[in-house]
Structure 1
């Protein structure tokens, strides 16, 4: 299943964006994910 890597990468990126949003840019991950 080659799509597993893509899903995992997207998950990691989402986690990083949320982490950065909580520390520096609160509005950025919210606008990107929503």
Structure 2
């Protein structure tokens, strides 16, 4: 799951979306691996 640190500033949208994409790819890899 995608988690964001509450202590981190939330004004960096590019880094935020990059983390979401990275976690999304990791989830797909896990699903394919488990499947």
TM range (shorter): 0.5 to 0.7
Unmatched tracts of structure 2, length 5 or more: 1-10
Q: Which has the higher contact order (CA 8 A, sep 6+)?
A: 2
Taking structure 1 as the reference length, what is the TM-score of the superposition?
0.64
Q: How big is the alpha-carbon RMSD for the aligned residues of Structure 1 and Structure 2?
A: 1.5
- Show structure 1 runs of 5+ residues with no match: 27-34
Q: Specify which structure has the higher proportion of helix.
A: 1
- Structure showing greater radius of gyration is 2
How many pairs align? 25
